[in-house]
């Protein structure tokens, strides 16, 4: 995860190789822990739009590994596994990632209409019970039990210092629901009403009603 905080120009030389290794491991019957780590990795890259990453960057890098591979891994792993993320910090990153994808991804806007709609449904599902992350002790690090270390947690649940430390990558997002609404309203205005148009064209009436409170 640390790699994505490198300067993009530096990471560009390695990102394709990283994806090639990951996609190779995802073939066949990957372990659940690997699938969840990949989903967390994807959302973290997708959510870092302002740093020069985002969904379109991930798609571009994926296509450099194998043309069209993103259209295989996104529905199967990203959308299929996102709701299995247990930690609030991970679910929060997923909300930020999906919101920015819906609002600012050119690929999802122009090429992946079905993927846009499915991403919106996944976002709505996460917002039914919006993640809340308690503030850290000044450095935005939160003590939480890691879902990948269940056995360890069962043996040492009383030792808080032994728990995995979870980093809140978006400490500025205090109220997830409020942030989603503010971001989507701003993006809809910025793109000349495109978000509302996609909603009316790509979602069912019931889904349109559910997302309406976030774009008006």
In this predicted structure, what is the pLDDT of residue 205?
97
Question: Are 67 and 91 contained in the same domain?
Answer: yes
Question: Are 76 and 146 contained in the same domain?
Answer: no
Domain that holds residue 160: 134-167
| Pair of tokens at residue 200 | 């009316």
In this predicted structure, what is the pLDDT of residue 216?
87
In this predicted structure, what is the pLDDT of residue 36?
97
The percentage of the chain sitting over the pLDDT mark of 90, rounded to a whole number, equals: 75
Provide the domain count of the chain: 2
Confidence of residue 133 (pLDDT cuts 50, 70, 90): confident
In this predicted structure, what is the pLDDT of residue 135?
65
Concatenating the DSSP letter of every residue in the chain gives -GGGGS-HHHHHHHHHHHHHHHHHHHSSS--HHHHHHHHHHHHHHHH-GGGT-SHHHHHHHHHHHSTTTHHHHIIIIIIHHGGG--SHHHHHHHHHHHHHHHHH-HHHHHT-HHHHHHHHHHHHHHHHS-------SSSSEEE---GGGHHHHHHSTT-GGGSPEEE-S-TT--SHHHHHHHHHHHHHHHTTTHHHHHHHHHS-HHHHHHHHHHH-
Question: Are 141 and 40 contained in the same domain?
Answer: no
Question: Are 141 and 87 contained in the same domain?
Answer: no
pLDDT exceeds 70 at position 82:
yes
Answer for the pair 98, 183: CB distance below 8 angstroms, yes or no. no
Q: What is the pLDDT of residues 6-44, one digit of tens each?
A: 556 667 878 999 999 999 999 989 999 999 999 999 999
Question: Are 65 and 88 contained in the same domain?
Answer: yes
What is the model's pTM?
0.85
In this predicted structure, what is the pLDDT of residue 3?
47
What is the Cα–Cα distance from 207 to 211, expressed in whole angstroms? 6
What is the Cα–Cα distance from 162 to 156, expressed in whole angstroms? 7
Which carries the bigger pLDDT value, residue 175 or residue 12? 175
Answer for the pair 166, 87: CB distance below 8 angstroms, yes or no. yes
Compute the average pLDDT of residues 112-119: 98
């Amino acid at each position: 995860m640390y790699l994505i905080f490198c300067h993009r120009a530096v990471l560009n030389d390695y990102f394709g190789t990283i994806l090639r290794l990951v996609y190779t491991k995802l073939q066949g019957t990957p372990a659940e822990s690997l699938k969840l780590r990949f989903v967390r990795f994807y959302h973290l890259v997708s959510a870092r739009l302002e740093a020069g990453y985002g969904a379109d960057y991930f798609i571009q890098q994926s296509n450099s590994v194998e043309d069209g591979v993103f259209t295989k891994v996104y529905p199967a792993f990203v959308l299929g596994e996102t709701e299995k993320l247990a930690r609030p910090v991970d679910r929060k990153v997923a909300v930020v990632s999906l919101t920015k994808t819906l609002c600012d991804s050119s690929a999802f806007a122009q090429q992946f209409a079905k993927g846009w709609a499915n991403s919106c449904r996944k976002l709505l599902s996460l917002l039914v019970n919006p993640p809340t992350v308690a503030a850290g002790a000044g450095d935005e690090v939160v003590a939480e039990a890691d879902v990948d270390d269940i056995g360890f947690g069962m043996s040492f649940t009383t030792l808080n210092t032994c728990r995995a430390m979870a980093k809140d990558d978006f400490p500025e997002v205090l109220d997830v629901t409020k942030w989603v609404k503010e971001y989507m309203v701003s993006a809809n205005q910025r793109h000349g009403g495109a978000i509302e148009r996609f909603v009316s064209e790509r979602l069912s009436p019931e889904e349109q009603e559910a997302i309406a409170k976030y774009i008006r």
